[in-house]
């Protein structure tokens, strides 16, 4: 699968999951499960490129990292938005 096609597939997975009651943040492993015919390293590279392009964003607890669509679901944890001055 070429890189652009893979990126396209990854975005489809996110749109599918984000719509309805799905999860807004997912792990690399979840992407691998959804796209079994692609190599995990290629998926990782494609997902990281999508972040650079601004189409995905990282969500990290410090110990692990998930990926999400910008602006969908929790940005910061609920209640973490900066208080009004």
Partner 1 sequence: MGEVKKHETPLMDDLKSGPWPSFVDDIYNYAEKKKKQACFDIMGQMELSYKNRETHWKHGGIVGVFGYGGGVIGRYSDQQEMFPSIWAFHTVRVNQPAAKWYHSSALRKLCDMWDHRGSGIVNFHGSTGDIILLGTVTEQLEYIFYDLGHQLKMDLGGSGSNLRTPECCMGMSRCEWSCIDTQDIIYELTMAFQDELHRPAFPYKFKIKVSGCPNDCVAAIARSDFSVIGTWRDKIKIDQDAVRAYVGGELKPNAGAHSDRDWGPFDIKKEVIDLCPTKCMFWDEGQKKLYINDAECNRCMHCINVMPEALWPGDDRGAVILMGAKAPILDGAQLSTVIIPFMKLEPPYDNLKNLLYKVWDYWMEHGKNRERLGETIQRIGLNRFIVDVLGLKPLPQHVKEPRSNPYIFWKEEEVEGGWTRDVAEFRKRHPA
Site for partner 1 contains 53 (CB under 8 A)? no
| # of chain residues touching partner 1 (CB under 8 A) | 28
- CA–CA dist 74, 85 (Å, integer): 22
Per-residue contact flags (x/-) with partner 1 for residues 17 to 36, judged by CB under 8 A: ----------xxxx-x----
Alpha helices in 1-85 (DSSP H): 3-18, 28-34, 40-52
Measured in whole angstroms, the distance separating CA 31 from the mean position of its chain's CA atoms is: 9
Site for partner 1 contains 68 (CB under 8 A)? yes
**Token couple for 53:** 């392009």
Positions that interact with partner 1 (CB under 8 A): 27-30, 32, 40-41, 44, 48, 51-52, 57-65, 68, 75-77, 79-80, 82-83
């Amino acid at each position: 699968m070429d890189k652009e096609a893979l990126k396209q597939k990854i975005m489809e997975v996110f749109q599918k999951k984000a719509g309805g009651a799905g999860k807004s943040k997912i792990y690399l492993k979840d992407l691998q499960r959804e796209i079994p015919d692609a190599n995990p390293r290629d998926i990782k590279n494609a997902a990281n490129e999508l972040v650079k392009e601004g189409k995905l964003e990282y969500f990290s607890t410090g110990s692990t990292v998930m990926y999400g669509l910008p602006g969908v679901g929790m940005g910061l944890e609920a209640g973490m938005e900066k208080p009004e001055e």
